[in-house]
Structure 1
Amino acid sequence: MLVIHGFGILADTLNELPPALGFGVVNPIREHCFVPAVSAISLRESATHDDLYTPISEEDLEETPFHAVKLASQSDTHTLITEELSTWFLDQLP
């Protein structure tokens, strides 16, 4: 899954406003899921929350409508450019 620090960004922005406005927040959860991998690669419909965490096998990747798919080996921040994914991407270029 991809994660984004959207809750944290919102909390930081609200906490920068003058306290008199009453928008200050305490936010212990700074990040949230951006796009579940099964949705991002159009693999399967998720009927339950637990379906989002069902492991994706190499065989599953062959069922996506995409020509090539590479998933990060661990959950990363949304749009994080890693050596692992960059190398794979560059290898896909003609």
Structure 2
Amino acid sequence: MAGTRAVRLLIKGRVQGVGYRDWAIDEARALALDGWVRNLRSGEVEALIAGPDAAVERMIEACRRGPAIARVADIEISPAAPPPERGFRRLPTG
């Protein structure tokens, strides 16, 4: 669909044990985005976000800050296929 996109985010820094996933779910749902978020065994957080370009961009900028006690060092962003289902959820650790 025109004007929409999906991206995979690999969020690095102090992003586990600080409420990052719950925060990301709240932010994504507020922006009506589809996708998911999960912790990785490497200590990073991975997310797939999909929706209107402007909402995806707002979510990326929000993820650069994260919740108050998180310390985001870097985010790798890559194109992705949109998720097969609507809504935003947490996946098990990958």
- For the criterion TM > 0.5, the same-fold answer is no
Q: Normalising by structure 1, what TM-score?
A: 0.24
TM-score, structure 2 as length reference? 0.24
Greater strand fraction, Structure 1 or Structure 2: 2
Q: Structure 1 or 2: larger helix share?
A: 1
Q: Which has the higher contact order (CA 8 A, sep 6+)?
A: 2
Structure having the higher Rg: 1
